[in-house]
Structure 1
Amino acid sequence: METDPKVLLLVNRPELASGLSAALEARAIPSLVLDHSDALYSFLNSRSVDGVVVENELPGFLTGIEILDRIYQDLLRPETILLAPRTNEIQERANDIGIAHVIDPSTSIEDLASHIESSLLRSDTRCARLKTEARHIVRRAGEIPAMPQVLVRIADHLDSGTSSIEEVIRDIAIDPKVTADLLKVANSPRFGASRTFTKLFDAVNYLGVHRSLSLIVSRSIASAQRRMSLHIPSIERLRYNQRSVLIASTAEVFAETFEGVSPDTAHVVGLLQDIGMLVLAKVFGRKYMSLQLRVRDVGHLRLEVLENEAFGVTHADVSAALLQMWDFPVSVVSLIGQHHSERIVGHAATVDQTVIHLMRVGEALANLADGHTQQRFPILSKLLSKYPKTEALSSMHKAIKRAKEASELLSVNVPKTDPVSSIVSGLSEEMLDQRDEQPIETVLTVPEREPPAPPPPAAPPSITANVISKPQAPPAAGGSQLHFLVVEDDQFIAQVIDRCLEVYSGKVTACQTIAEAKLHAPAADILFVDVHLGGEDGIQLIEQLRQEGCKAPIVVVSGDRTRSTVGNALLVGANDYVLKPFTEESIREKVDRHLELVR
């Protein structure tokens, strides 16, 4: 049975090719000799290897260093050895490209084989298995914030877990901005220091090496995410921020409570795992955003499955390709790329599976924010089945609290009200205890909250109808206040529409079901209705309201852009249609357009 090669050889001299191949074989390192650069490029695009040896002087138009430059530009990053004279020009260019080793071509075959062996054994150098299309999508995204080289070094320290405080401080001190930022964080009230730190050593010593590294990397990632998300609507930006921080905080809390892995590492990979969504949104625009909305509207759909069908890759693939471009450690790239894989591969599969399980717990909890709790809760319940019930519930509450703290620490804007909080507060040990005994529909009940009475300030909205009183603004024409009815099963979207309507006088009533909507519709001046209301049909609601004599303008707000859906909505009596994702201006424009009908 033929063994897959660990090392690829692209060399000009036949005697070197045969001799080096034999020397590697004697060291139990299978190799493959290739005869041209296209074969090398094709192999790397389809297979994974530990290393590549390329001679600089080759027949044809391209030199070895130019071939490796092309490979690195396509985000293929195997361990590389270039056989070339170690001139200043070649060494500088090799450093710029990222070529690991430059060795004089006159080196003996035995010494060269020994060097290859030692470089492969020294660290896990296996190039992460990335899909070609994922690398191409990252390249198509155009301008992506670069990750400063000092942060790549810091990420390496975080990944290794064995760096001394002296080594860490030496690399942090290279970048004055990173140094100043860490001192600012260490002196913040969040960490409760009794004195002000002015020296880097004192701050790192107080926070701890691992926590310092995690803070630097996390804040840099959050900054990059902010810049990368500028092209998407503010609504989706808030949702992404909430999601990424909650996943990271959940992975961190469950790591420190239950698992023998670094909570700081779990936090970083949790923060990174969905960053590919921002790249996909930038490259595919509305097509990708509509796909995300479809997943949120239909509870049983899985985003990664639809991504793969539509684009041939998942956001996990694209996240991994981006991190490889940023030169993150291979182990981190591999974890991110595999967090939706059924089978985990790698040199430390047990540890990898533990971290990926933590990432999935965070993701499942974050998915509850999108509604359709009855369909989505069983996934979370199954992931939690390995943990004690009481501790699991406590850890979820702790994760939500930690996420709010992390949002402030990372300077990340998130929604004022977190729907996950109200959902988790409705969970109980009994529900988890019965998770394997009966369908979740029979045990999942979120208690209704009484409408808040001032004072105190209003409580967060529940998943039942919620009336939100507004500060008194100038009344509408005729002296009456406007009453908006928002029929939307996604609490987050309902809250965003509510914010869009803050400039108008009156109140907003938000509800999730047809029964609730029909109860409040007679008093409404303008209605905003989603098409897909969990298991109910918004178009059917519109038809019933018109049959019952409702004359108020009805604006459909939906991610469903199919001609039949839009046509049916207008046919049964909708006055207007707004596509998700929407802007504040688009909602207000619809109100202004139809305001004359209610004056």
Structure 2
Amino acid sequence: MTSHCRVAILTESESRSRAIEEFLFQPTEGQVCMTSDELYHVVNAGQIDAIVVTNALGGFLTGVDIINRFADELVNPICVLVGDLTPSQKRRAEELRVGTILPADSTPVAIAAAVANAISKEIHSGLSIPHGARVLVRDQDYIAPMPQLLVRISGFLNDPNATVGMLAREISTDQRITAELLKQVNSSSFGMNHRVKSVQDAVGLIGVRRTVGLVLAAHLLGARNSKLKPLPRGLDGRLRMRSLLTAVTATTYSKLRGHQSAELAYVVGLLQDVGILILLHELGNDYQHTFDRCSSIAQLQLAPYERSQLGFTHADVSAALLQKWELPPRLIRLVQQHHEPFDKIEVNPGEIELIQAMQIGESVADCREHFSPQRQILLNRLVAKCGGMNEDAMHGCLSQAVAQTMEMSKLFSLPMPDGHGFQKIVQQIARDADVELSANELAAKHPLGKRPAMAETTSAVEGAAATTSSTDENASNPPSTDPETKTMTFLGCATTPQKLLPATKPSAAPRPTISETVYTPQCVEPNPRFTDELGENGYVVVVDDEVAIHELIQAYLKPLGLHVECCIDRLELALHARDADVIFIDMHLGDRSGIDDIRWLKSKNINVPVVVTSGDLSRSAVMAAVTAGAADFLPKPFDRQSIQAKVRKFTQAATPSTLVGAT
């Protein structure tokens, strides 16, 4: 164990409890309780990871009764139960999923060791759900419990011995679920050439796991239909469409790759973001503002922001809800980890494939909500990490996912999506599947947050814009193809490359003002190392904690002859700052503020113009940048034209002078 854990202890005597506390392994901290009420209060009020309780406490309640009380309140700490149990108590302990039961005469050392093993096993299983997420789910009353029939049949997803007859018998006990299943199987999406009239035939035709997925999906989407009505108009349909598109895309991708868990991908895809529903209900407009902002700004990611503000994420809340519904631990673990980087997930290879499919499905849903080059880069990088996909395969996968999403929306009475808009996104994504292949293969070798060396980075766009970056020494003999007007395709968008600077030295003139600048820049001495033309001498430094932003800026600027150096930490910034013509710094870095980096540059007398990039356009954010000494401000998301305008402003050859304020 490497993390700090707290254990509450209640036994028949204080001396025994103190002895157990003394032998707890570091860094575990014990807290001795004298009564069951004190134990209950401590577990509910504090960050308690595990409890030790003896069954025979000498009073009215037994240890099993106390654990049962916690379960009723959806407080599920790791439990170590000490005592000799009756047969009925053993059955109840098993139903309560008490993981460790020790004999009544167990020594304090043995009990402490059992606590350590139980905590280690729980952490390794990925089911260590933050206390705040569990409490949030425990206290809500607007999502009904999962019907026991669905809890039982969900176990069939992981049961290789489950048969068609076994599942058919379970489903046949519920007329509503039976009718819903037959409705789905007889829909046009299954393409049956005859009408299916019995559950036995339906399960036999589509298989056990797929049947379970369909039944669970019908319940989940139906429940969300009713529970999302109090939400603001339009948000309910958005969330349901997002879940459905994620689930269908994950399933389609899994089948295309030959994964064994395609049906499970469908269920997990529907479940993974149900925590957003609870957070919207509990936190109201504050959370909705955060959710909308992260949905519309490509550079912002919801889960890291949630973790920084709440201490847990919507994935943790989703997992807590599934735990309340008593769904299989495997489902809970997959849902909780669906935002984690692949190299940090402690699951088997089959589950890695499933999480990859889920992340691809979610990335497609992100593109559908707000398409941008940054989001397509992230999607392409995910696909590359998962084995790559050419244009035909990508187009086929997405087209099939869109068609099934449209069909399922109709089947479940969800708002129908814009089919034309869907297909446009499919074409944009698929068209660049081959173009981005080399960049994605590179990205697959470098996990998020680890920047490849500049010499290794080769953007497909560089080749497309080679005529722009390789100008003649003599400007009077331009290439036959005018780079000012040649159109190329970048990330599915037609763009016209422009030379930022003329090849010949311009006459001294004031720098042009930039109309889109949101405030008057500070007067900053420009870098004295100005050159007559960009070529290899134009030097731009980018400080951002998102590799996708690095790749995007490189794609925008490197074809024009600029050298772009990307930095993640301050050490890298220190190595390159003095050589830069202009530095772009993100305001909100992962472990620090970009404003602090600007102040640090000033303290080192590095007077290179700094442009702050941020999706936060509030007056306080802009004023913070001004006060720190930033020369300009670039709102996120930015496009090719806006970032090139900023670079032109600070790298164009001109006589040294203070910067001209924007009007």
TM-score greater than 0.5 by the shorter chain: yes
Aligned length: 437
Matched, 1:445 2:466: no
Distance 1:16 1:3, change over 3 A: farther
| One-letter amino acid matched to 2:55 | N
| Structure 2: distance between partners of 1:8 and 1:85 | 21
Residues 166 and 445 (structure 1 numbering): CA distance in 2 closer, same or farther, change over 3 Å? Answer: closer
Matches within 5 A, 1:372-521: 372-385=371-384, 386-390=387-391, 391-417=393-419, 419-427=421-429, 428=431, 429-436=433-440, 437-438=458-459, 443-446=490-493
Q: Distance in 1 between matches of 2:2 and 2:422?
A: 52
Find the counterpart in structure 1 of residue 74 from structure 2: 74
Deviation of the 1:563 alpha carbon = 8.5
1:156 CA drift (Å): 1.1
Paired AA for residue 444 in structure 1: L
Structure-2 change in CA distance of 1:206 and 1:82 (3 Å): farther
Residues in 1 aligned to 2:266 and 2:198: alpha-carbon distance in whole angstroms: 26
Partners of 1:263 and 1:339 in 2: CA distance: 15
Counterpart CA distance in 2 for 1:172 and 1:16 is 50
Task: Note closer, same or farther for the CA distance 1:183–1:445 as it changes in structure 2 (3 Å cut).
Answer: closer
Change (3 A) 1:379 1:77: same
2:280 maps to which residue? Answer: 281
What is the one-letter code of the residue matched to 1:438?
S
The AA in structure 2 aligned to 1:228 is K
**Alpha-carbon distance in 1 for matches of 2:275, 2:141:** 14
Residues 255-289 of structure 1 deviation map (CA, whole Å, 9 limit, x = unaligned): 11114331100111111111111110000111111
Task: Report matched runs for 1:335-374 at 5 Å.
Answer: 335-342=334-341, 348-374=347-373
Q: 1:297 to 1:98 in 2, by over 3 A?
A: same
2:157 is aligned with what amino acid? L
Secondary structure of the equivalent of 1:197?
Answer: coil
Show the 5 A alignment for 1:16-27. none
Local SS of the residue matching 1:188: coil
8 Å CA contact 2:295–2:370 kept in 1: the answer is yes
Whole-Å separation in 2 of the counterparts to 1:165 and 1:45 = 46
Of all paired residues, the percent bearing the same amino acid is 28
Q: Distance in 1 between matches of 2:137 and 2:301?
A: 22
Using the TM superposition, give the Cα deviation of residue 375 of structure 1 relative to its aligned residue in structure 2, in angstroms: 1.9
Question: Amino acid of the residue matched to residue 433 of structure 1?
Answer: L
Q: Is residue 82–residue 106 contact of structure 2 (8 Å, CA) maintained in 1? A: no
Equivalent residue of 1:415, what SS? Answer: coil
Q: Which letter does structure 1 place at the counterpart of 2:209? A: H
CA contact (8 A) 1:298 1:372 kept: no
Structure 1 561/278 Cα, relative in aligned 2: closer, same or farther at 3 Å?
Answer: farther
Larger radius of gyration: 2
Cα distance, 1:79 vs structure 2: 7.2
What is the alpha-carbon distance in structure 1 between the residues aligned to residue 30 and residue 293 of structure 2?
A: 48
Corresponding residue for residue 237 of structure 1: 236
* Matched-pair contact (CA < 8 Å) for 1:255–1:263: yes
Query: Are the counterparts in 2 of residues 9 and 54 from structure 1 also a CA contact under 8 Å?
Result: yes
Cα deviation, residue 194, structure 1 = 3.8
Equivalence map 1:257-296=2 (5 Å): 257-296=256-295
1:253–1:263 CA contact under 8 A, matched in 2: yes
Residue 57 (structure 1) shift: 2.3
In structure 2, the residue matched to 1:153 is 152
Q: Verify: 1:187 aligned to 2:178, yes or no.
A: no
**Residues 218 and 410, structure 1, Cα contact 8 Å, conserved in 2:** no
Check 1:194–1:376 CA distance in 2 against 1; reply closer, same or farther (3 A cut): closer
Equivalent residue number for residue 568 of structure 1: none
Structure 1 residues 138 and 414: alpha-carbon distance in aligned structure 2, compared to 1, 3 A threshold: farther
Q: State the one-letter code of the partner of 1:98.
A: L
**Cα distance in 1 between the residues matched to 2:353 and 2:304:** 23
Q: How far is the alpha carbon of 1:355 from its aligned partner?
A: 1.3
Determine helix, strand or coil for the equivalent of 1:230: coil
Question: For the structure 1 residues 181 and 317, does the alpha-carbon distance in structure 2 shift closer, same or farther, using more than 3 Å as the test?
Answer: same
Hey, what's the Cα distance between the residues in 2 that align with 1:83 and 1:264? 42
Q: Which runs of 5+ in 1 are unaligned?
A: 21-30, 449-558, 566-599
What's the CA shift for 1:2? 9.9
TM-score computed with the length of structure 1 as normaliser: 0.61
With over 3 angstroms needed to count, the CA separation of the structure-2 counterparts of 1:183 and 1:282, relative to structure 1, is: same
Distance 1:103 1:371, change over 3 A: closer
Distance 1:102 1:297 in 2: 47
Asked whether the equivalents of residues 250 and 360 of structure 2 are also in contact (C-alpha less than 8 Å), the reply is yes
- Whether the 8 Å CA contact 1:48–1:128 is kept in 2: the answer is no
Is 1:56 the equivalent of 2:23?
Answer: no
* Higher mean displacement: 269-278 or 127-136: 127-136
Output the TM-score relative to the length of structure 2.
0.56
Residue by residue over 1:281-321, the C-alpha shift from the partner in whole angstroms, topping out at 9 and shown as x without a partner, is 00011111111122233221111122223322211111111
Matched, 1:136 2:135: yes
Tell me, in whole angstroms, the C-alpha distance in 2 between the residues paired with 1:133 and 1:303. Answer: 17
1:98 counterpart (90, 96, 99)? 96
Measured after TM superposition, the shift of residue 208 of structure 1 is 1.4
Contact 1:296 1:371 in 2 (8 A): yes
Q: What CA distance in whole angstroms lies between the structure 1 residues aligned with 2:45 and 2:328?
A: 19
Residues 373/239 of structure 1: CA separation in 2 closer, same or farther (3 Å cut): same
Q: Deviations over 1:435-494 (max 9, x none)?
A: 44327796223469xxxxxxxxxxxxxxxxxxxxxxxxxxxxxxxxxxxxxxxxxxxxxx
Q: CA deviation at 1:424?
A: 2.0
Matched residues in 2 for 1:227 and 1:269: separation? Answer: 20
Query: What letter matches 2:350 in structure 1?
Result: V
SS in 1 for 2:291: helix
Q: Distance in 1 between matches of 2:294 and 2:17?
A: 53
- Please name the residue that 1:226 is paired with: 225
**2:79 & 2:420 partners in 1: Cα distance?**
45
Where 2:300 maps in the other structure, the secondary structure is coil
Task: Report the Cα distance in structure 1 between the residues aligned to 2:435 and 2:195, rounded to whole angstroms.
Answer: 47
Query: Which letter maps to 2:409?
Result: S
Structure 2 CA distance for aligned equivalents of residues 216 and 249 of structure 1: 15
Deviations 1:154-182 (A, max 9, x none): 11111334312232223223323222322
The 2-side partners of 1:370 and 1:262 are apart by 27
Contact 1:238 1:414 in 2 (8 A): no
Q: Confirm or deny: 8 A CA contact 1:210 1:264 kept in the other structure.
A: yes
Residues 261, 350 of structure 2: 8 Å contact kept: no
CA RMSD of aligned residues (A): 4.6
Q: For 1:256 and 1:165, locate their aligned partners in 2 and report how far apart those are by CA, in whole Å.
A: 21
CA offset at residue 128 of structure 1?
Answer: 1.2
Q: Deviations over 1:81-102 (max 9, x none)?
A: 68576487x689769x735699
Give the counterpart letter for 1:400 in structure 2.
Answer: V
Q: Aligned partners of 2:92 and 2:367: how far apart in 1? A: 49
Return 163-172 or 59-68, whichever deviates more. 59-68
Task: Give the match for residue 553 of structure 1.
Answer: none
- Match of 1:234, SS state, is coil
Letter in 1 for 2:96: G
The whole-number CA distance in structure 1 between the counterparts of 2:77 and 2:204 is: 35
Tell me: CA distance 1:44–1:439, structure 2 relative to 1, closer, same or farther (3 Å).
farther
**Is the 1:130–1:321 contact (alpha carbons within 8 Å) kept by the matching residues of 2?**
yes
Contact kept in structure 2, 1:78 and 1:127, CA below 8 Å: no
- Structure-2 residue corresponding to 1:206: 205
Q: CA deviation at 1:132?
A: 0.7
1:193 is displaced (CA, Å) by: 3.2
- Between the aligned partners of 2:169 and 2:345, the Cα distance in structure 1 is 31
Inter-partner Cα distance in structure 2 for 1:374 and 1:45: 44
**Aligned 8 A contact 1:48 1:127 in 2:** no
Asked if structure 2 preserves the Cα contact closer than 8 Å seen for 1:83 and 1:105, the reply is yes
Question: In the alignment, is the contact (CA less than 8 A) between 1:365 and 1:380 conserved in 2?
Answer: yes
